[in-house]
Amino acid sequence: MPTDLLDLARRQGGVFTTRQAARTGVTRKVTQRYLDDHIWWSLTRGLYSLSPDPTWDGLAWGGVLLGGPGAALARAAAGHKLGLCPAPDIIDVVCPRERRDRGPWRFHRAGRIDARGEPAVADVESTALSLCADAELADLFNHLARAVTSRRTSPERLLRRAKSTQNLRHRGLICEALADVASGMHSALERRFIQDVMHRHGLPEVELQAELEPSRYRDVVFHEQRLVVELDGRLGHTGDGVFRDFRRDNANTLRGYATLRFGWDDIANRQCTVAAVLAQALLDRGWPGRPQRCPLCAA
């Protein structure tokens, strides 16, 4: 086997195309001998492997090679290469020309493709948003969190891309969450908490942005029950922010206030569970009222 072809195949996860082999002087007759002698294995028409059981990376390379010039890994396949999700069984590839799906490869025609790396991988913004669009609501914020905390992108860049992406599934919720994170404010999360958790479940009125100590504010405070609710609009809990949360919760405890903490995933996807937890805490701390069930609770 020509050294140049062997080196190329190894760089491509052990796979290569008929055209790449032909460029190194391998004829059809020699190709058939390699196949008969189990030196090569055919993965699909025009694509060969040095192994009968290629790795996932080899299959990913195969998809990009089959896609042709300008092709790139996309969706969960790109997400895996970027460290955002596990390796998928189906490998999605975007390419400039129409391609027929075959084997583990699924092709999507796209115009301009912003990609980089070997094999080429779609940019992190389009990849993260495609993962969000393909996900159920329960997993949406996990995908956003992984993208932001990976430090490969930022909430601002994701928000700009989401606003410019047509027909993006869950677009409204994605933009709402990213706008809060990008601005450093939690107004949208706070609004959802008041409407979907408090009002729908008949919970008592609260003080928002209450100053329990000089120049330090708490998101939601039930003074009579000495209960604090912190609404964490960040996507992921990393770095110094974790320790600030600990110090703030400890300060609340020393003042006799219990602390509950909820994030975007809780308020958007589990508002009834949040209401139940909050109601139990309020009842345990002397609230004389009674929570009510909303239509979602019954469902």
Q: Name every residue whose Cβ is closer than 8 Å to that of residue 139 and which is 6 or more positions away in sequence.
A: none
CA 109 from centroid of its chain's CA atoms: 23
Helix axes 155-164, 124-134, angle to 10 degrees: 70
Give per-residue pLDDT as tens, 63-83. Answer: 999 999 999 999 999 999 999
Q: Among candidates 39, 40, 41, 74, which has minimal Cα distance to 60?
A: 74
For 219-229, give one letter per residue: b (16+ CB within 10 A) or e. bbbbeebebbb
Q: What is the DSSP letter of 201?
A: G
Give per-residue pLDDT as tens, 77-111. Answer: 999 999 999 999 999 999 998 899 999 999 999 87
Name the band, by pLDDT with cuts 50, 70 and 90, for residue 245: low
Give per-residue pLDDT as tens, 4-54. Answer: 999 999 999 999 999 999 999 999 999 999 999 999 999 999 999 999 999
* Dihedral over alpha carbons 19, 23, 27, 30 (to 10 degrees): -90
Residue 135 has pLDDT above 50, yes or no: yes
* Dihedral over alpha carbons 213, 217, 222, 226 (to 10 degrees): -30
User: What average pLDDT does the chain have?
Assistant: 86
Half-sphere exposure of 63 (CA within 13 A, CB side): 29
Give per-residue pLDDT as tens, 196-213. Answer: 999 999 998 877 777 666
Helices (H), the chain: 3-11, 18-23, 28-36, 56-67, 75-81, 124-134, 137-149, 155-164, 171-183, 187-192, 240-254, 264-269, 271-284, 295-298
CA atoms of 84 and 278, how far apart (whole Å)? 33
Give per-residue pLDDT as tens, 145-190. Answer: 888 878 788 889 999 999 998 889 999 989 988 887 676 556 778 8
Cα 293–Cα 294–Cα 295 angle in degrees, nearest 5: 125
pTM of the model: 0.67
Neighbours of 114 (CB within 10 A): 11
CA atoms of 132 and 139, how far apart (whole Å)? 8
CA atoms of 59 and 48, how far apart (whole Å)? 10
Sheet with 227-232: list strands edge to edge: 207-213, 216-222, 227-232, 258-263
Burial class (CB in 10 A: 0-12, 13-18, 19+), 97: exposed
Give per-residue pLDDT as tens, 209-232. Answer: 776 665 566 778 888 898 888 887
Residue 272 has pLDDT above 90, yes or no: yes
Q: Please give the pLDDT value at position 238.
A: 43
